[in-house]
Structure 1
Amino acid sequence: MTDIRAYLRGLDVFAGELPAFDPDAAPDRPETLFVDWLTTAVEAGVREPHAMTLSTIGTDGTPSARVLILKNVDAHGWQFAAHGSSPKGRDLAGHPAVALTFYWSQQARQVRVRGPVEPASAQDSAADFLARSAGSRAEASTGRQSRPLEDRQTLDLATKQALERIAEQPDLVIPEWTLYTVRAEQVEFWQADKQRKHTRLRYERHGDTWTRGQLWP
């Protein structure tokens, strides 16, 4: 039987050449640095570089995490979308604050975003829904995410019916679909170092301005 502890310790980390990161030369705003790191990950061939872990808190106080796709980032915040009646939608209704985590292994870089969440307007949420693929809209329109599934045939039939409905009503928008904006209060950039002298730079919001400072590894 494999010794998992030894197996895990034997796996390589921070392999290859790591990029340089000078926190003193960082821009004034975190979204600017984030876009720079994101595009660097894209150019390096990172798969799904816009994938992020969304962490929420349930009404019972239990944390929950799952991977979603980032929809946009600008001076207003980081955006993602979800069905309002899904588990994450219910979490956000009861506790409208989240943490986002991005990790790009080729660069050994991590970005952590924390802050309150605000739902976008119905118009903006509808535009996001209509920009999704037909299959994605069909899945979301069933409104059954995370519910128990009897068998695969039930899923196949529901998907087929939903796709037919989307084809007949191409402008169909489900009212529960919501675009959310994370108005970040803290954003931390972490650059790994092979000697474990990792570089950490944290931005903190104060009204409409940001301060930044380094942290111990």
Structure 2
Amino acid sequence: MNSASSEGRSVEIADLRQDYRYKALLESDVSADPFQQFQLWFDQAVEAELPEPNAMTLATVTTDGRPAARMVLLKGCSPEGFMLYTNYHSRKGQELAQTPYAALVFWWAELERQVRVEGAISKISDAETEAYFHRRPRGSQIGAWASEQSAVICDRNILETRLRDLEQQYQDQPIPRPPHWGGYRLMPNLIEFWQGRPNRLHDRLCYRLSDQQWKIERLSP
């Protein structure tokens, strides 16, 4: 696809570009700890009232080396890693079971910033999952039971029927966590911070974990 239509006009996709001039990213300005640096940028994204600042791309890989990516939501970040929750039987859950490595990408367009994260991923404890599940809105709790995530269904009526049945089943009582639903924690060995700069000469600072120590490297744009 080489062009897109906007109000009847043809737009050449190859000609779409933006010059980035918001800020710089210098070694002297960043924390030696990538988690502290991420928290700083994340807090600034929240303060800027960006839509869903915790939205991120999660990339996984199949056993035959084919990549797959989708948007998910970050639900926690600490020196222990980046957390998310999903259905273990979903496509991403099956791929993570086969190959427990993943990549994350955050894109905060208004701040002209991107963060890439790579590393090993594993399930979190049942206790952590239980605590988070019961903090979720009741509708989301029922939804975790109603949807066989990634499975083929004939039409949406199947979901609506399941939802009504479950609402009746759990009326006036707590909703238990489905055994197939839970959390993951990605422990990174690489975190890259990207700040847009003029003339495509962007700033890229990459933290790499080596011998339990984080080393900061500047990458060419």
Q: TM-score, normalised by structure 2?
A: 0.90
CA distance in 2, matches of 1:66, 1:160: 28
1:9 to 14, 27, 41: 14
Match of 2:149 in 1: 145
CA distance in 2, matches of 1:58, 1:164: 38
Query: Cα offset for 1:14?
Result: 4.5
Inter-CA distance 199–150: structure 2 relative to 1 (3 Å threshold): same
Inter-CA distance 140–171: structure 2 relative to 1 (3 Å threshold): closer
Percent identity, please.
33
Match of 1:60 in 2: 64
Match of 1:33 in 2: 37
Query: Cα offset for 1:146?
Result: 1.6
Unaligned runs of 5+ residues in structure 2 are 5-9
Match of 1:174 in 2: 178
Secondary structure of 2:37's aligned partner:
helix
Secondary structure of 2:42's aligned partner:
helix
Contact 2:24 2:203 survives alignment (8 Å): no
CA distance in 2, matches of 1:166, 1:38: 37
- Runs of 4+ aligned structure 1 residues displaced above 6 Å come to none
Moved more, 37-46 or 196-205: 37-46
For the pair 1:112 / 2:116, whether they are aligned, the reply is yes
Query: Cα offset for 1:145?
Result: 1.0
Match of 2:106 in 1: 102
Q: TM-score, normalised by structure 1?
A: 0.91
Match of 1:23 in 2: 27
Unaligned runs of 5+ residues in structure 1 are none
Match of 2:204 in 1: 200
CA distance in 2, matches of 1:133, 1:183: 27
Inter-CA distance 129–6: structure 2 relative to 1 (3 Å threshold): same
Amino acid at match of 1:144: E
RMSD after superposition: 1.9
Query: Cα offset for 1:157?
Result: 0.8
Cα distance per residue 1:35-68 (max 9 Å; x no partner)? 1111111122210000000001123322111111
CA distance in 2, matches of 1:11, 1:170: 51
Match of 1:135 in 2: 139
Say how many residue pairs are matched: 215
CA distance in 1, matches of 2:16, 2:139: 38
CA distance in 1, matches of 2:19, 2:44: 17
